Amino acid sequence: MRVRNTLLVLLICGTGFAQGEYTAQRRSMVKTQLQNRDIADEATLRALLNVPRHEFVPLAQKPYSYWDRPLPIGEGQTISQPYIVAFMTQALKLKTSHRVLEVGTGSGYQAAVLAKIVDSVYTVEIVEALARTATKRLQRLGYDNVIVKSGDGYHGWTEKGPFDAIMVTAGADSIPEPLVAQLKIGGRMIIPVGPHNGIRQLVLLIKKKNKLIKKNLMAVRFVPFTRSED
């Protein structure tokens, strides 16, 4: 019994120390990787500061949670580097009243960041195993304004639209028309577009009443957009 109680105390202390270390790493990440570059939106910075990225990566990747790089999350997918998450979030110019669609849930990290800023997040993940674990993770962490669906994100989520903003976290060969249709007038969408296995352009779209404004923001690499018929 004494040995078991001692182990329990060590585990509790160790967990507390780790959480403190993660908090310090997260603060450093926000300052050095985001603020010292071009991320200035207060809501975005606050969200990245408060979402525990280490909870969204596999155990073996936790020591690298706050490094400036993408990390594998299984099923051939990755979690984007913090800077890209922040850059894409900032570009959408989100408001607290917004309803947002995310295509490509992955581990749920980007959805959690969005959820810290907006009213509601609807996120679609084609890999059923990732959708299932992301749902459990987001529920466990208290992100009750995020709803996850397993399905083909190319078609968006018609019954939950229209959306104030749409974020696509996988590289597409072209811009999916169903997503444009589900974007509100005045809404903004961000999506990596370009050839498979090549450098893609991170494209920002702003939907006006009679036109769609497109802006190329930066060159990026993303895992490919997967379709159900692939």
Residue from 80, 120, 150, 228 carrying the catalytic annotation: 80
User: How far is 114 from 85, CA to CA, in rounded Å?
Assistant: 10
Report how far residue 108's alpha carbon sits from residue 114's, in angstroms, rounded to the nearest whole number: 10
**Cβ distance 194 to 170 under 8 Å?**
no
**What is d(CA 26, CA 28) in angstroms, rounded to the nearest whole number?**
5
Q: Which token pair is 13?
A: 């202390």
Give yes or no: 80 in active site: yes
Tokens of residue 223, six digits: 């895992």
Q: Which of 184, 185, 201, 209 is nearest to 101 (CA)?
A: 184
- Distance between CA atoms of residues 65 and 8, nearest Å: 25
Active site residues: 80
